[in-house]
Amino acid sequence: MTTALGKRVALISGGTYGIGREITLKFAEHGYAVAAFGIDPAQTAATVESLRSKGLEGYVLTGDVSDPADVRGIVGEVMAREQQIDVLVNNAAVMIRGTLLETTKEQWDRAFAVNIGGMFLLTREVLPHMIARHRGAIVNVASGSGYGGPGRLAYCCSKGAVFPFTVSIAQEYAASGIRANTVVPGNVFPTGMTERDADTPERKRKLERAALASPAGRVNTPRDIANAVFWLASDESETVSGSTLEVMIRT
């Protein structure tokens, strides 16, 4: 996995916890120069330790994907170190729970600022560097909730925006050698968003139903999602763009 300038470089937002950390480790295992970032210093420190314990290389930064200054700083640091970004994984997200009547304007704005606004800011910052080299793979992590669901209106709507975002980029920049695809995780355990209600009867029943519906006889793990993300970023999918890969069972 090398280019004229050396290793290929993957930048991963929300790459310090749950699914994102597994994505970070997956790319590092395959020889990428990995730059991951998240908003929680404790999670970034744990990710550094995860890389170190496996003998993997990579560097981990702290920043808020919804903050334009943080995004510019992170992309600038990666470019200063590596001179290129080959893969961008937009994974950072925040879960906002609540029905329409329970959701405040502040919660609605926060969901959109992170879950789709962060993708916009980071992609806009990275894309010119990819265009300059006439190559790049962008993988956006959506959610099964992006199709709608009860009790998490702001999260569902903000994640639903990922689909047209991806297709628009794929169509607009195909001639510039850029690919963009979406991965849709479904029934993943454990993740940062599912740990808090892992012991509730409702969650246990949902996981049991999901395992029974799966040909694997189990729910997805973060590594399953990381495998899908990696494939869409790799040369093995070089003719795939504007697609949606669902890592879930349709029931």
CA 5 to chain centre: 25
Residue carrying the six token digits 């995004």? 71
Angle at 231 (CA atoms; ends 8, 192), nearest 5 degrees: 95
How far apart, in whole angstroms, are the C-alpha atoms of residue 28 and residue 181? 21
Q: How far is CA 44 from CA 10, 34, 106, 212, 222, in A?
A: 16, 13, 26, 35, 17
Our answer to whether residue 155 is catalytic in this structure is yes
Tell how strand 2-3 and strand 6-7 pair up: antiparallel
DSSP 220: B
Element (H, E) at 212: helix 201-213
Instruction: Mention every residue, 6+ apart, whose C-beta is less than 8 A from residue 100.
Output: 153
> Looking at 17, 32, 59, 155, which residue is catalytic?
155
Give me the active site residues, please.
Answer: 155
